[in-house]
Amino acid sequence: MRRLPRLGVFVAAVLVSGCGGGHASHTQPATAPNVAPPATGPAAAPNSAPTRARPWYRRGLHSFGFQSPTGNIRCGIESDDHTHLLCKTLNNQKAVVLDQFASLDTNVTVTLPGADPTLAYSKWWWSKNFVCWSQEDGMYCRSLYSRHGFKISRAGIEDRIFPSVIIHLGGGDGGGGTYSGGSGSTVRCNDGTFSNSGGIQGACSWHGGVAP
């Protein structure tokens, strides 16, 4: 993720959702790892065909921020830089910042408002650069343009590397999930990948089976 020009600089971002607004910010400490992602990145490919089915990741909640059903996990897009997704847990104040292309950074302090809509269990949230889904064991998020992602829960933050990207640079939005093949419905597998073979015998057979 982008490094700040000097120590102690405070980056503030305003999150505005359909249910309210507030201030979200993260402070970059001097000891943070030196990650230098590209300065710019592509926007999500437009859905040019009016009759085309919406990709699975665009069928869920679409807002600048959201929270878990328990209210313990809060996430949001940094309004000054939409290539950054910020999440934190209130029980232990653990925080993570995921860049559109670079690996996640947990060496940060994040402040997020509590006025955002609730993402119910088994439901999706998306922005033009990220997708998240809510489960009873935690919140899962990943970049649409890279394999990087994470799981955040009361227990902490786990780095996740997914098998493939969802949107390839210059290659369209993929639409059907994180790997191709199959002719059924789109389903999520237990390892966090997605299959186009939902409803067909053997769907997600190499990925831990279909998630409940």
Range 194-208 average pLDDT: 68
| DSSP notation for 107-163 | SSEEE--S-SPB--TT-EEE-SSEEEEEETTEEEEEESSSSEEEEEETTEEEEEE-S
| Structure-token match 């940060």, residue found | 108
Q: Give the pLDDT confidence score for residue 212 in this predicted structure.
A: 73
| Structure-token match 């006025």, residue found | 115
- How many other CB atoms are found less than 10 A from the CB of residue 3? 13
Range 60-78 average pLDDT: 94
Q: Give the pLDDT confidence score for residue 23 in this predicted structure.
A: 44
pLDDT bucket at 27, cuts 50 / 70 / 90: low
The half-sphere exposure of 75 on its side-chain side, counting CA atoms within 13 A, is 35
Q: 57, 109, 59, 103: which is closest to 87 by C-alpha?
A: 109
Q: Using one digit for the tens of pLDDT, what is the confidence trace for 143-183?
A: 999 999 999 999 999 999 999 888 877 544 443 334 434 45
Q: How far apart are CA 105 and CA 53, in angstroms?
A: 34
User: Global pTM?
Assistant: 0.61
- How many other CB atoms are found less than 10 A from the CB of residue 204? 20
Residue scoring higher pLDDT (169 or 17)? 169
Average of per-residue pLDDT values in the chain: 73
